[in-house]
Structure 1
């Protein structure tokens, strides 16, 4: 469901009670509800067909008397990843004799059961935010089978007893019985500083190791902080409903005492920030094709968030530290603590600006106008960093450094945009491809959001299925005269010009205005 302006910071109830009902109080007296997504897991099932029963009863919706209109709770239900209920409205369902709706399914379970109830775009979006999925009870039982013989039952019981004894012995030897190990402390060595991977938006991230040898990343949030609680709920509510190869996977969570933990898949090569600016070994692996792969991966992840997922999401904090790299240096977008639902044609006006200076779009940073084009702007800055090897976040107005975007503007006006290419690449890159990507990055960072491309258009350009129009020299007006003079002065220094790159040996050197000729279509 869409986010609306909150008037209170009091937490929303996730369990609703209905004291009016007396019969079948266990099933009908309470219900679990969430603004966006409810997901249930069942583990350790024997393979077979089971009868799954979902019990629904509406409670918590308040309609104005005498008005036919009012809040509508509409949501979808998936079982084992397959949709079984679409745009389901409890109030429109057929009640049974006991006053609730019973949906029954025969489900094949290999080893575990997954039930997902989620808001998919219909129904009420007004405050309070408790018009998302709701369920009163879930029951699972195996489909009745033929009776087993006494001998077979005895054999199964004996084998199970032997297996259980061996299992308990192994667990005791490993120290998992008797309270010797806490799973979270064991996984992270009690959050040892040696295992610290970095700092997330609201807390540190540690490397952990599960008993089965699987590496994980554990983000530690404070349960006493409103920001920490907000990110915890935001990440669970959003990431659990999103699945894409270029988004980091949330494996689980834990809320204990005043400690909130988010558990993610472990990324072997840390973050893009680490690879570009803090590890010479990793940067040496960032050849041209790898950099293009990373740029394309980020673009595909954002395309999924903006246009393809059931929930349309604006990330709000795209930057190198929030782009993680797996073993093969594939990019995965992480840290959804600042993410917002996109309400379609309605532009968000945000009173509390969140993000990182240097990556925030001007219309969002100055006026609070938030659309998917804000992520496009951030993507453009990150793309410039990947191609140039320069850190945009290191800029400080008081020193002699030049902001990367200011430098790009000046070089573009001088027809020397290709001088931004990282000199460490030498001549081992595609001039035509680099020129097109740099022009695309400049288009993404246009001060006017309406002139920026969409992320799906960006993907088609990077994949070579479309080309972009050449931009005029007045495309990016520089209103900060001091920044302009600073960037121009830096370019006039001899030492600066020595770091500029040259085109690859296998390609001719086209002029800047003709360097972006990729395929047939234009955006």
Structure 2
């Protein structure tokens, strides 16, 4: 390399102290032919005092450094037995090449692990001031090295060490296993059939949708697509791949009662087809998801149209109100008398009546519906429904017949005419609800005062009186005095006269109990069912009738 200098060649650089002070080493010196050595070690770089290498532009990390040595300037044979010794430091330790290699003319590789914290790796060879300086000749002492190789202990494409890569791979594998376990636990993987006995092995007579289809249709259940909050879960608007608009009711699988509602609703609606019943397109039972897919009803619920938030109300004119009331009556008449299955809805109310784009009324939410065996005079069952709409004999004694639906229809008919909620409207403190106020107005001969003021004079007084009288007739406290729904349809259509409502209040004890029971509704006005509404479906367990 000549005098003391610094040499740079690409990514490597070297500095040396230069010439020896006494003479220069013989540039043509060759190892003895009696000690053949591979080409790599046939040449070497030497310096009298210090020889320093710089590996530059290296990525931070751990490297394996190999230093290749062979003593090619000393010989050791019978003709020239020399005691020459070369001793120098490799950064921190004394090193004798011939001694480490087991003789002169033999190669040896020293391996070190070095960590680069900046961008440069330094390898320093320094004469230890030991060994010989004139044997067998002058200017043969000092550090000598044949080659250097540097290999990263990491993948250069990622910059990570082998240990780090192994750690990441193992950690990732464990993390994936944990995620898969969680997904399996939640029911998204495997477990296509729920463990619940009510759903396992159940052959449901309806179309099936995949969870992927529903997620795509609802935008992964985007909150912006949420159109209601049901008693057992939210309801979302969705659009299928063919452009069909749907409503998706999501039931919670954590509730066994929710499972029963799910099975019950599918069982009922899949067997029923009527213009005034909401149409069930199908269901999705996948993982822990219980989903019901309905036709989408553009105008939401009747409750919202009549007495919902101001921005959600519809201006229903009189002909529309009459059409809606007649549609509900026809739907209930079909359930009670015309369908193959005789069904008691059990939760008839304005919030469970939906309106399509043409404001056609359709009854929905059959989760609480019960089959009515014609051989039985009534069904004794656990009370479930909405306070303010339940018939007295059902609310207090669990005595269920189709006349319970007739009572609920009477309440809804009064709400349609008045535009007021039965459970929320209290004109005076002493009146419990809308029905109570209607009784008073009837006794005073002022029943038309109940008509919605927003209609002004734009309604038929005769038709209004017909609907109000039917409402009071249907909501009679005595089930035997309530008409069948087919008779109600006939009266609404004008084919038969409206019977004069006979108000039977029953015993004072029963009256007071019912009044106290209905007053509970004043503190339970939350939203539930297929679309947003004003009252909550409740289930009440009783050990026996209220005697």
TM-score (norm 1): 0.57
Select which of 291, 304, 315 maps to 2:345: 315
Whole-angstrom CA distance in 2 between matches of 1:482 and 1:399: 18
1:36-435 aligned at under 5 Å gives the runs 38=205, 182-280=212-310, 283-394=313-424, 402-435=432-465
Structure 2 portions without partners, runs of 5+: 1-194, 516-547
Q: In the aligned structure 1, how far is the partner of 2:474 from the partner of 2:375?
A: 20
Cα drift, residue 348 of structure 1: 3.7
Describe the SS at the equivalent of 1:385.
helix
Preserved contact between residue 347 and residue 370 of structure 1 (Cα < 8 Å): no
Out of 448, 467, 478, the residue aligned to residue 478 of structure 2 is 448
Distance verdict in 2 for CA 1:350–1:397, change over 3 Å: farther
Partner of 2:17: none
- Shift, 1:183, TM fit: 2.0
- Give the 3-state SS of the residue equivalent to 2:294 in structure 1: strand
Q: 1:257 to 1:440 in 2, by over 3 A?
A: same
Tell me if the contact between 1:200 and 1:335 (Cα under 8 Å) persists in the aligned partners: no
What count of residue pairs does the alignment treat as equivalent? Answer: 319
Deviation string, structure 1 residues 423-457 (Cα, Å, up to 9, x no partner): 11100111111101101110000111010000000
CA 188–351 in structure 1, closer or farther in 2 if over 3 Å, else same: same
Judging changes above 3 Å, is the alpha-carbon distance between structure 1 residues 213 and 379 closer, same or farther for their aligned structure 2 residues? same
Q: Secondary structure at the match of 2:215?
A: helix
**Stretch deviating more after TM superposition (391-400 or 249-258):** 391-400
Give the root-mean-square deviation of aligned CA atoms. Answer: 2.9
| Mapped contact 1:385–1:392 kept (Cα < 8 A) | yes
What does 1:454-493 correspond to in 2, within 5 Å?
454-472=484-502, 474-476=503-505, 479=508
Structure 1 residue 469 displacement after superposition: 2.6
* Residue aligned with 2:384, SS: coil
Q: Could you say which residue in structure 2 is the equivalent of 1:11? A: 197
Query: CA separation in 1, counterparts of 2:259 and 2:292?
Result: 11
Q: Do the aligned partners of 2:206 and 2:283 also contact (CA within 8 Å) in 1? A: no
Shift of 1:186: 1.6
Q: Please tell me whether Structure 1 or Structure 2 has the larger radius of gyration of its CA atoms.
A: 2
Equivalent-residue separation in structure 1 for 2:272 and 2:427 (angstroms): 39
What's the CA shift for 1:297?
0.5
TM-superposed CA distance for 1:370, in Å, is: 0.4
Secondary structure in 2 matching 1:306: helix
2:231 and 2:394 map into 1 onto residues whose CA distance is 19
